[in-house]
Amino acid sequence: MAPNGSTNHNLLFNTAGLTVGTYRTILQIRSNQANNPFVHIPLVMKVVSEEKLVLSDTCVNFANTFIGDTSFKRLVIYNVGCQPLIVSNIINTNNVFKLSSTSGTVAIDDSLVIDMEFVPTIPGNYSASLIINNSDTNRIVCVNGTAVAKPDAGFTSFEDHACMGKFIFQDTSVYTPTGWQWDFGDGNLSTSPNPTHFFPEPGFYNVKLTVVNLNGLDTMTQIIESKALAAEFTMSNDTVYGDSIVNFGDSSRVGSSWAWDFGDGNSDTVKNPNHTYTQTGTFTVSFTVTNAFGCSETLTKTIVVLSNIGLKDSEKMNWLSDVYPNPSKGLFYLELTENAAPWMNDLEVQVSDMTGRKIISLSNLKEFKTTIDLTTFESGVYLMQIYRKGELMSYKRLIKK
């Protein structure tokens, strides 16, 4: 050390293993000073007891948790001091987070384990503060958790028009679905939240709703009864000779009362009637069925009644050659043989749709080949009838593609 100079030295005292108390010692400094080579300096050190709190986490974050489930986390309070640590209480500001312990004494070099549970009942983001009051320094730990839920499927149905089988469906699912899949049990589907659907056939249908969101899916099924009424009937033949018996039958399945109009001035109210046509011509059969719910529906069909005598005579004369092409896109050709020459002026060709409405009438035929033009009419089945002096002689169905 230079003359009139100085130097600094740090002294380290290790108190490990020492008990609480006062400790004294002497620091001896040796120098090259001839008349006083040794300098003695007394030292006093006091060892005191002190607790020290250390936390495993300053903020506890729970992963996404489904409602109805429980997530677990652990908070550890360590005592790294020289005196027992007293945790007097832990204040929890949100009881959606459950604590296994809220107080305790922590020995030196020991710990207090706090098991935490996140038990949400409603989806959302949750937070809390844990205020740890203790004999060292009070601490605050933040706690966060997010509750999620897959949708819980539900729906209601309203019969808007019973006779038509019209239903309005309303989604009542909870926990925010983002997608919908309806299966109406009749082969039809929908992805609308609140669809309207028609069940044209009466009966019971299993309607299933599946709802989804980012967290999963759920399904609900209800049985829907459709009271829809669709009139339908059969007849033993749609073309008969005069004085023949025609058998009619209800095939609507759910009728409770019936009204038949045979188109010739006669009627009936039984389910499956028989009727004899005594007049020739084309007749419109009207059938009205009513079910137990008061719904009514009407269906009409045509029947052709031919004259026995006229048909036999025409067959003997062999006057009709052909109608072609059939099916056709609209143009048909009626071709007669030379046997029809004596009474060409007596013939009338009529074409009707299947409701019995006459759409074409041709008379006073000049040629053996006659064009029948249906190009301006809709595709379907039409009935061609040939009359001689008002008596039905022949008929044929024309099919327009």
Q: Rounded to whole angstroms, how far apart are CA atoms 391 and 337? A: 19
Long-range contacts, 104-107 (Cβ 8 Å, 24+): 106/77, 106/78, 106/79, 107/79
| Residue pair 94/126 in contact by the 8 Å Cβ criterion | yes
Q: Which residue has the higher pLDDT, 240 or 197?
A: 197
pLDDT, tens digit (0-9, with 9 covering 90-100), for 26-47: 888 887 777 878 888 898 887 6
Provide the 8-state DSSP code for 19.
P
**Cα distance between residue 87 and residue 71, in whole Å:** 25
Tell how far CA 365 is from the center of its chain. Answer: 63
Beta strand 59-61 with 139-148 is parallel
* Band of residue 314 on the pLDDT scale cut at 50, 70, 90: very low
> What are the tokens at 293?
């719910």
Q: Which of 397, 384, 398, 385 is nearest to 280 (CA)?
A: 385
Q: Is the pLDDT of residue 323 over 60?
A: yes
CA dist., res. 53 & res. 109, Å (int): 10
Q: Both tokens of residue 93?
A: 């500001």
pLDDT at 89 over 50: yes
pLDDT of the residue at 312: 43
What is the per-residue pLDDT for 48? 60
- 354 pLDDT more than 60: yes
Using one digit for the tens of pLDDT, what is the confidence trace for 190-222? 999 999 999 988 889 999 999 999 999 999 999
Could you give the domains of the chain? Answer: 53-148 (2.60.40.10), 155-226 (2.60.40.10), 233-306 (2.60.40.10), 310-400 (2.60.40.3580)
